[in-house]
Amino acid sequence: MRADARRNYEQILAAAEAEVARAGAEASLEEIARRAGVGSATLHRHFPSRQALLEAVFHDRVAALCTQAHDLAAGLTPQPVAPTSPPPAALSSPPPVGGGSADAGQALTGWLRSLASYGAVTRGLAKSLLGGVQNPTASTCEAMLVEAGNELLRPAQAAGAVRPEVTIIDLLTLVNAVSLATEGSPDADAEAARLVTLALDGVRPRG
């Protein structure tokens, strides 16, 4: 890729991050191009659709959430001999207890909660994920979340904490729906986490 192309790409991405944070997923593409100091045609050449731009904007953050899931999952299985890299600290995940395995159900639900909070607070993220949860092949972010989520869902189901017929698509759809519905309300993150907890626990009194 030519140097000016790469430079413009980065500038557009930076402007898009700012503008989407300000105006949500429906931010004006023209305004983004304007703030990036490029013509609108350049923006459309680099990102042929709004969805493509949103994917690029959110890719790193989604990747971080997936890393978090991966690290949580690694803390569940008795650590196999790991000759690769020293385990990098998870984003903000509670460290797995001692040297043993943490609770698989809690790892999953905790991750889903933080996912919902993050989605509710990050303007435009939930909406940009909405289209693709049903058919994740169309979207890189979706596929990443599905894979990362499955790493937590499988142990949780093996531990009997989640019914076997539940799929990660079900859970991600629910969480994303909650993010979407709570986005914009005050204390969106707490509200999203609360509703996800409610949905995961069910509405009936527990024991």
Site of interaction with DNA (CB under 7 A): 1-5, 7-9, 28-31, 37-42, 44-46, 48-50
Q: Does 72 bind a second copy (CB under 8 A)?
A: no
Whether 179 contacts 119, CB under 8 Å = yes
Q: Does 163 bind a second copy (CB under 8 A)?
A: yes
Q: Which of residues 174-193 bind a second copy (CB under 8 A)?
A: 174, 176-178, 180-182, 185
Taken as a whole, the chain contains a residue count of 207
Closest by CA to 50, choosing from 67, 73, 31, is 31
Q: How far apart are CA 50 and CA 203, in angstroms?
A: 38
Whether 145 contacts 67, CB under 8 Å = no
In Å, what is the CA distance from 42 to each residue of 18, 37, 59, 170? 18, 10, 21, 38
Binding a second copy by CB under 8 A: which of 57, 107, 171, 193? 171
Whether 114 contacts 61, CB under 8 Å = no
Q: Does 166 bind a second copy (CB under 8 A)?
A: yes
Q: Which stretch binds a second copy (CB under 8 A): 6-14, 92-100, 143-151, 169-177?
A: 169-177
Sketch the per residue contact string, 120 through 139, with a second copy: x for CB under 8 A, - otherwise. ----------x--xx-----
Interacting residue ranges for a second copy, rule: CB under 8 A: 105, 130, 133-134, 160-163, 166, 170-171, 173-174, 176-178, 180-182, 185, 194-195, 198-206
